[in-house]
Amino acid sequence: MAALQVSLSRGVMKTFSRMLATCVAAAALAPFHAAVAQSQAPATNPGSTITVETVTPKIRKVIFSNPPANLIVPETVAGLREVVIALSADPDVQVVIFTSSTPRFFYNHFDLRQAAKFPSVPGDPSSPAWVDLVIRLSKAPFVSIALVRGRTRGGGNELALAMDLRYASKEQAFFSQPEVGTGILPGGGGSERLPRLIGRDRALEAILSSQDYDAESARQLGWVTRAVPDAQLDHLVDTMAARLASFDKAALMMAKEQVNRASLPPDADLRAAYGEYTRSLGWAGYRERVPRLGKFVADKGLDVELQLGEYLGKVGP
């Protein structure tokens, strides 16, 4: 396999009011993430790494790494957006597999210490790069596949929901939207996509409870496409990718557009939700709950990230 290291550019800052709210939130969250960093060896990376591998002329694999917990940082968003734009412009690419090289984690939630630095679309400070990324991904002229082996929460879950197919390890994959449990709102598409997949009541349960769902439970709900034993996951994804790559690209893409018309949330709803999430970072409830969560991290370290749904149920007053 030929590997290409993608250069990640820093995004532009958001508007002043949005930045002010997120700076307040970052201060509240600092004890939580500081405790995570101090509890781990080796130290966390300063930024995420995204690698694109050429599997075949028609298949690419995008590998994410930001150990120990694969938090999504500003560089992740900017880099993934660049990757999706580049792959969308390549007429040969028909299938793109997204996966992780960090054990026990797929794409995880946002690193809210850096919320004020999350980029906007270059040249358009009012347009969050994250929203542009997930919209582009859902409408991309290739089939996107999430190969999920590990925790997939918050923004990471919302990224997976923006993909076309989601295949999960029964033993290692877990899913959640943990925002409400920390006192904020989902903002990356979870509130818009989950109800369309699993129904209003089940989406409400998942979002309001902030619980973790194992892969088999997620499969039964319709959250993921399939859940298989971990030993079979790579073969399943590789076989499906090869099959799709053998088909006519025009037929694949027109069929995807037909399904998109019946299933995707309006772009305006995704933009509205991101704005609501940003404003929620200034809420008092968030500033009160996160330091309590930080106390768990100081005592339990990375176990809090591994079992976040359980710990969120313990951070009440």
Q: Residues with Cβ < 8 Å from 62, sequence gap 6 or more?
A: 50, 51, 52, 53, 80, 83, 96, 97, 98, 99
Q: How many folded domains does the chain comprise?
A: 1
Residue 279 lies in a domain: yes
Residue 118 lies in a domain: yes
**What does the pLDDT read at residue 48?**
76
Q: In what order do the strands lie in the sheet with 174-176?
A: 151-153, 174-176, 213-214
Contact predicate 290/158, CB 8 Å: no
The CA distance from 236 to 145, in Å, is 11
Q: Residues with Cβ < 8 Å from 123, sequence gap 6 or more?
A: none
**Where does residue 156 rank: exposed (0-12), middle (13-18), buried (19+ CB within 10 A)?**
buried
**What is the per-residue DSSP string for 54-114?**
EEETTEEEEEEE-TTTT-B-HHHHHHHHHHHHHHHT-TT--EEEEEE-STTBSS--B-GGG
Residue 158 lies in a domain: yes
Residue 286 lies in a domain: yes
List C-alpha distances in Å: 173 to 212, 292, 308, 309, 313: 10, 26, 13, 14, 20
Query: Which of these, 11, 18, 28, 10, lies nearest to 116 by C-alpha position?
Result: 18
Q: What residue type is 87 in one-letter code?
A: L
Residue 104 lies in a domain: yes
Q: What angle do CA 203, 130, 228 make, to 5 degrees?
A: 50
Sign of CA dihedral 269, 226, 260, 91: positive
Q: What residue type is 176 in one-letter code?
A: S
**What does the pLDDT read at residue 156?**
98
Both tokens of 181, joined, read 């449990």
- CATH label of the domain that carries residue 153: 3.90.226.10
Residue 317 lies in a domain: no
Contact predicate 94/100, CB 8 Å: no
Query: 276-314: per-residue pLDDT in tens?
Result: 999 999 999 999 999 999 999 999 999 999 999 999 999
Residue 149 lies in a domain: yes
pLDDT tens track, the chain, 317 positions: 444 444 333 333 333 344 434 444 444 455 454 544 443 333 334 467 999 999 999 999 999 999 999 999 999 999 999 999 999 999 999 999 999 999 999 999 999 999 999 999 999 999 999 999 999 999 999 999 999 999 999 999 999 999 999 999 999 999 999 999 999 999 999 999 999 999 999 999 999 999 999 999 999 999 999 999 999 999 999 999 999 999 999 999 999 999 999 999 999 999 999 999 999 999 999 999 999 999 999 999 999 999 999 999 999 87
Domain encompassing residue 99: 2-312
Residue 17 lies in a domain: yes
**What does the pLDDT read at residue 47?**
62
Query: Within 13 Å of residue 122, how many CA atoms lie on the same side as its CB?
Result: 8
> Which phi and psi angles does 61 have, rounded to 5°?
-125, 125
The b-or-e profile of 180-210 (16+ CB within 10 A means b, else e) is bbbbbbbbbbbbbbbbebbeeebbeebbebb
If one counts every other C-beta atom within 10 angstroms of the C-beta of residue 162, the result is: 23
